[in-house]
């Protein structure tokens, strides 16, 4: 199994995530598209099991006819009538509640139940589905646990959150994308103790799943180990690399003592960013090294968590996305060193005022692009997006204190990002249901 941070097997000398990971992902996606295209072609092949003849026969199926009639009416009526239809169908015609019907009904009512403050009513519906259509409920168990856990999380029911997350952890391999979103929600809410216990259960489930791609398993393991490290730091701020060796043995990981010692020293404030270090890092601009960025993120973690008291899990998630953003910005920036400069040749400059590029300081355009990727329909990693945006004021203050950014530039950056903050607030109000998330983005840039 090739990990994201392992040397790329192509022999380039780069880390896998910086070399062939994207290409390998694209190849797998292309293969999946081929499968989907073949399935689509079957739809227009009269002789296939999914062709017009088969579909025509399916329309004559009385059960399918009842399901279609229910859905047509259900989706074209009011919220309260939808509740009445669902309740009546469960009592009078439970056969129509297959896994697809269960998902569509519950997903539709879940969103409105949160808005209307009817979470108890919704949980009673899930209980009824579990009683009446147990097979469909089991097939949709990842979604069922997700809905239940969101409600418990929003309402501060930690005991229920813990029980539900542990249950989800035991079947994490069934839907790792789903499980990953649960981790993000708990990280944003700072539930590190709950995460730690559940992830130990998930490790057994996921590591024994032979159907997962190596890169999927590697990404999961990377996140598990990072959260485990944060948990151990919470328990013992004097943690050393020697303490970690035994703990990480079960993950089949080898710790590089020198590198881990440096990381822990910056994360716990035992080592500070010196003026010389700051000068050396700025001298790398515009091509900041990944090692320098990791050093600064580790040092900023100490500032955010140990000095300001912000949640370790949320700070860790925000700084992880911030690191990804800085590298993204560096790759897309017009200030990136071009080929002629790398070859030692002079490049022609346009006349006019020269611009100063600080690779560590966010700008509105690239931040907008990066947030757009996190919030796009098919990923919608909204907890990561909001954790990133919320850590920016802390990051800018950290840079200023360590002479990596002028105070005036930090203030101007916060001012320029204010429009994005309002956009995120509108998204939260219109599409998201987590009250903590809405509260936090409303008071930005205060953290």
Would you give per-residue pLDDT tens digits along the chain (447 residues)? 455 545 566 655 555 545 676 666 556 555 545 444 444 344 344 444 444 554 455 556 889 999 999 999 999 999 999 999 999 999 999 999 999 999 999 999 999 999 999 999 999 999 999 999 999 999 999 999 999 999 999 999 999 999 999 999 999 988 888 899 999 999 999 999 999 999 999 998 888 776 778 888 888 989 999 999 999 999 999 998 888 887 787 787 778 889 999 999 999 999 999 999 999 999 998 889 999 999 999 999 999 999 999 999 999 999 999 999 999 998 887 655 443 343 444 444 443 333 457 899 999 999 999 999 999 877 789 999 999 999 999 999 999 999 999 999 999 999 999 999 999 999 999 999 999 999 999 999 997
**For residue 372, what is the enclosing H or E element?**
helix 364-374
Tokens of 99: 């896994």
Tell me which residue has tokens 């790792």: 176
- Residue environment code for 44-81, b if the CB has 16+ CB neighbours within 10 A, otherwise e: eeeeeeeeeeeeeeeeeeeeeeebeebeeebeeeeeee
Residues listed for the chain: 447
The pTM for the full model equals 0.82
Q: Cα–Cα distances in Å, from 241 out to 59, 236, 237, 260, 320?
A: 64, 12, 12, 6, 21
Separation CA 273–CA 271 (nearest Å):
7
CA distance 185 to 446: 21
């Amino acid at each position: 199994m090739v990990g994201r941070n392992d040397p790329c097997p192509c022999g380039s000398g780069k880390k896998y995530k910086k070399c062939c990971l994207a290409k390998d992902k694209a190849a797998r996606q292309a293969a999946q598209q081929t499968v989907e295209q073949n399935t689509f072609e079957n739809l227009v092949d009269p002789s296939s099991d999914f062709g017009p003849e088969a579909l025509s026969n399916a329309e004559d199926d009385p059960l399918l006819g009842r399901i279609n009639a229910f859905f047509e009416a259900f989706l074209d009526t009011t919220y309260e009538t939808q509740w009445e239809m669902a309740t009546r169908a469960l009592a009078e015609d439970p056969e129509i509640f297959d896994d697809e019907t269960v998902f569509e009904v519950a997903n539709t009512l879940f969103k409105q139940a949160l808005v209307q403050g009817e979470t108890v009513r919704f949980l009673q519906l899930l209980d009824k589905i579990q009683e009446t259509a147990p097979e469909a409920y089991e097939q949709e168990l990842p979604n069922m646990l997700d809905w239940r856990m969101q409600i418990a999380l929003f309402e501060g029911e930690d005991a229920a959150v813990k029980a539900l997350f542990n249950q989800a952890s035991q079947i994490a391999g069934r839907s790792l994308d789903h499980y990953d979103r649960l981790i993000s929600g708990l990280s944003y809410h700072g539930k590190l103790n709950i995460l730690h216990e559940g992830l130990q259960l998930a490790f057994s489930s996921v590591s024994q799943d032979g159907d997962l791609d190596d890169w999927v398993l590697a990404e999961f393991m990377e996140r598990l180990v990072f959260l485990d490290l944060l948990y151990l730091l919470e328990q013992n701020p004097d943690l050393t690399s020697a303490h970690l060796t035994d703990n990480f043995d079960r993950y089949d990981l080898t710790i590089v003592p020198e590198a881990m010692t440096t990381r822990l020293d910056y994360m716990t404030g035992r080592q500070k960013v010196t003026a010389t270090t700051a000068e050396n890092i700025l001298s790398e601009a515009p091509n900041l090294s990944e090692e320098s960025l990791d050093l600064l993120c580790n040092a900023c973690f100490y500032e955010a968590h140990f000095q300001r008291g912000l949640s370790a899990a949320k700070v860790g998630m925000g700084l992880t996305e911030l690191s990804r953003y800085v590298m993204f910005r560096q790759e897309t920036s017009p200030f990136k060193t071009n080929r002629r400069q790398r070859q030692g040749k002079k490049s022609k400059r346009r006349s006019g005022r020269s611009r100063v590029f600080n690779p560590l300081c966010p700008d509105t355009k690239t931040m907008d692009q990066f947030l757009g990727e996190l919030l796009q329909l098919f990923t919608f990693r909204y907890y990561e997006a909001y954790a990133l945006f919320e850590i920016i004021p802390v990051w800018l203050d950290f840079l200023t204190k360590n002479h990596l950014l002028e105070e005036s530039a930090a203030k101007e950056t916060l001012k320029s990002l204010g429009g994005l903050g309002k956009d995120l607030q509108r998204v939260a109000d219109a599409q998201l249901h987590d009250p903590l998330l809405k509260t936090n983005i409303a008071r930005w840039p205060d953290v």
